[in-house]
Amino acid sequence: MDISILRHSASHLMAMAIKRLFKEVHFGIGPAIDDGFYYDIDLDKRLEPEDLIKIEEEMKKIVKEGLPFERIEITRDEAEKFFLEKNENFKVEIIRDLPSDVKIVSLYRNGDFVDLCRGPHVDNTKDIKYFKLLNLAGAYWRGNEKNKMLQRIYGTAFFKKEDLDEYLKFLEDVKTRDHRILGKDLKLFSTSEDIGPGLILWHPKGSIIRHIIETFWKEKHFESGYELLYTPHIGRAFLWETSGHLGFYNENMYAPINIDDQNFYIKPMNCPFHILVYKNSLHSYKELPIRYAELGTVYRYERSGVLHGLMRVRGFTQDDAHIICKKEEVKDEIKRVIDFCLFMLKTFGFSEYKIFLSTRPKEKYVGSLEDWQLAEESLEDAIKSSGYEYDIDDGGGAFYGPKIDIKIKDALKRDWQCSTIQFDFNLPERFDMSYIGSDGEKHRPYMIHRALLGSIERFFGVLIEHYKGAFPVWLSPEEVRILTINENHEKYANEIFENLKNKKLRVKKDFTNEKLSKKIRDAQLEKVPYMIIIGDKEIEHNTISIRTRQNKNLDIKNVDDFLKYILEKVENKDIEI
């Protein structure tokens, strides 16, 4: 049996328990979702976490009562009348909105509790054994903020106790990986009330990681035929009128800054600037494709309620690029981008992907149908020839072009969307971009907009959670820490330190007046991959002892051997230490 049936039944079970505990309650919808189920309810009393426990207990009672799920079919008119009498207006609304060809609706009954439901369900409440209510939230009726705010209760249910336990453990694991907590503990980044929400302060340890990411990124972009750009953070209103952003992206843009009686806007995207670099001179078809890349910092207004650590912020840096090319180059360029993208993601330790192709929206779109067809085919061909599986999100493209989104799976198998490859029919037209073809005439180039890591902030957040803060050596803010046992060992330890330092390793000393076990604990909590321990034995034999953050001692005793070992790990960007 499908688990969603069990969860859907659990949602009925919960509703029944709520109805027993709180008489004056009205029900919205209560579906099964990916990880469990929820029910939206309209209740005057504000539910508190303790209420969840009470509801859960009531649910257990109903399970014991062993009430069968009984399917009743009636006409929609009868159903409407039934729920009208019960004052269940949300249900009435659902029935009224059913397609006109639906004549018969089904109800499910357990004892005296009846709910509108398509079903199917488990046979009996006693089949719902392993469940847990998880959290409370507000949710608008039908997801529309103009509607009434209901109280939503989330829960989950499983067939087997082990599965429920495993899921609860997963939730705990998610908590211990939270990048906001780790970011604070490991001193990677912070936000400040004095600066404002959604604006990130990168601390030295986070900044060094960002520097490594960006340096690697630039290197690989040069190798892949990109040219690097730096562009301003603000631009005249005229620019954003031309690009159309003031029209279609206005609600994400900040109010203008008035300078010498002219309005300037903080950039929410980099594209217009890249286009103006292109337009600064005439281009021959021989120059194409042109690939402009920039780590461009943009600012977008996001509603306060959606901000979340590094994952959703108001100021962020996109690893942006715009590829300007001829029609016949499109397919090849897309393929190159996909390969490049997957190479980058893989280097950072992500090797499972989901690829989505989003096609032309049904109504609002720019560009000709031919253009769309070419673009969609090119995107699809490129994915196919890369040999990856993909799903099609029909009608999910932007109005200015179709796109490919790549979602990565992290260590907990959660999906994250970072990469996006988007076709743009809009901007080349609006900015009247052109190149001179072999016929001596002007032609309109095609433009592809892409971000591989997406935003550096979000990508960093995903990295932190993926590695639980224990980064591979090449990304670790501190690669090695040298610990002495007492002050007599400092001179020798300093020699080792200088030796590693000379090889550009990020190494720190802990010569503090503490016991070794304390120093190890400190290094361990900071997730430093390698600890070098120096005591009498090491000095006597001219060796080092190396402990890894995985509580293991390396066999290597010789400094040069260790250097060879670690530098190879760094060079190869090994995930394992």
Partner RNA sequence: GCCCAUGUAGCUCAGUGGUAGAGCACUUCCUUGGUAAGGAAGAGGUCACGGGUUCAAGUCCCGUCGUGGGCUCCA
**In the complex, which residues of this chain contact RNA (CB under 7 A)?**
46, 48, 135-140, 143, 145, 149, 151-152, 180, 184, 191, 193, 196-198, 300, 302-309, 312-314, 316, 318, 405, 417-418, 420, 451, 454-455, 457-458, 485-488, 513-518, 520-521, 524-525, 531, 533, 535-538, 545, 547, 549, 551, 553
Q: What is the 3-state secondary structure (H, E, C) of 536-555?
A: HHHHHHCCCEEEECCCCECC
Q: Is 117 annotated in the active site? A: no
Query: Which of 320, 405, 424, 510 is labelled catalytic?
Result: 320
Q: Is 432 helix (H, G, I), strand (E, B) or coil?
A: coil
Record the tokens describing residue 218, joined without a space: 């630039």
Query: Which of 318, 418, 422, 549 is labelled catalytic?
Result: 318
Q: Sort strands 435-436 and 442-443 into parallel, antiparallel or unpaired.
A: antiparallel
Q: How far is the CB of 543 from RNA (least distance, A)?
A: 9
Record the tokens describing residue 128, joined without a space: 């719902």
555: Cβ contacts below 8 Å, ≥ 6 apart: none
Record the tokens describing residue 136, joined without a space: 């409370």
Q: Taking Cα atoms as reference points, which of 260, 289, 36 lies closest to residue 154?
A: 36
Q: Which is nearer to RNA, 111 or 138 (CB)?
A: 138
Query: Which of 12, 221, 291, 322 is labelled catalytic?
Result: 322
Q: Which helix (H) or strand (E) holds 373?
A: helix 369-386
Q: How far is the CB of 309 from RNA (least distance, A)?
A: 5
| CA 335 – CA 281 distance, rounded (Å) | 28
Q: Which is nearer to RNA, 63 or 462 (CB)?
A: 462
Q: Is 262 annotated in the active site? A: no
Q: Is 221 annotated in the active site? A: no
Q: How far is the CB of 142 from RNA (least distance, A)?
A: 8
Query: Which of 331, 449, 481, 519 is labelled catalytic?
Result: 449
Q: How far is the CB of 548 from RNA (least distance, A)?
A: 9
Q: How far is the CB of 286 from RNA (least distance, A)?
A: 32
Q: What is the 3-state secondary structure (H, E, C) of 229-294?
A: CCCCCEEEHHHHHHHCHHHHCHHHCCCCEEECCEEEEECCCCHHHHHHHHHCCCCEHHHCCEEEEE
Q: Taking Cα atoms as reference points, which of 515, 549, 518 lies closest to residue 532?
A: 549
Q: Which helix (H) or strand (E) holds 40?
A: strand 36-43
Structural contact between residues 95 and 105, judged by C-beta atoms closer than 8 angstroms: yes
User: Residue 334, class by beta-carbon neighbours within 10 Å (0-12 exposed, 13-18 middle, 19+ buried)?
Assistant: buried
CA distances from 99 to 73, 76, 103, 150, 408 (A): 17, 11, 9, 25, 38
| CA 240 – CA 272 distance, rounded (Å) | 8
Q: Is 300 annotated in the active site? A: yes
Cis preceding linkage at 120, omega within 30: yes
User: Residue 496, class by beta-carbon neighbours within 10 Å (0-12 exposed, 13-18 middle, 19+ buried)?
Assistant: buried
42: Cβ contacts below 8 Å, ≥ 6 apart: 25, 26, 27, 28, 90, 148, 150, 151
Record the tokens describing residue 546, joined without a space: 């190396």
Q: Is 318 annotated in the active site? A: yes
Q: Is 518 annotated in the active site? A: no
| CA 526 – CA 187 distance, rounded (Å) | 9
Q: How far is the CB of 42 from RNA (least distance, A)?
A: 11
Q: How far is the CB of 183 from RNA (least distance, A)?
A: 10
| CA 340 – CA 320 distance, rounded (Å) | 13
Q: How far is the CB of 125 from RNA (least distance, A)?
A: 26
Q: Is 109 annotated in the active site? A: no
Strand partners, 534: 484
Structural contact between residues 150 and 41, judged by C-beta atoms closer than 8 angstroms: yes
Q: How far is the CB of 43 from RNA (least distance, A)?
A: 11
Q: How far is the CB of 67 from RNA (least distance, A)?
A: 29
Q: Which residues are part of the catalytic machinery?
A: 271, 300, 318, 320, 322, 403, 449
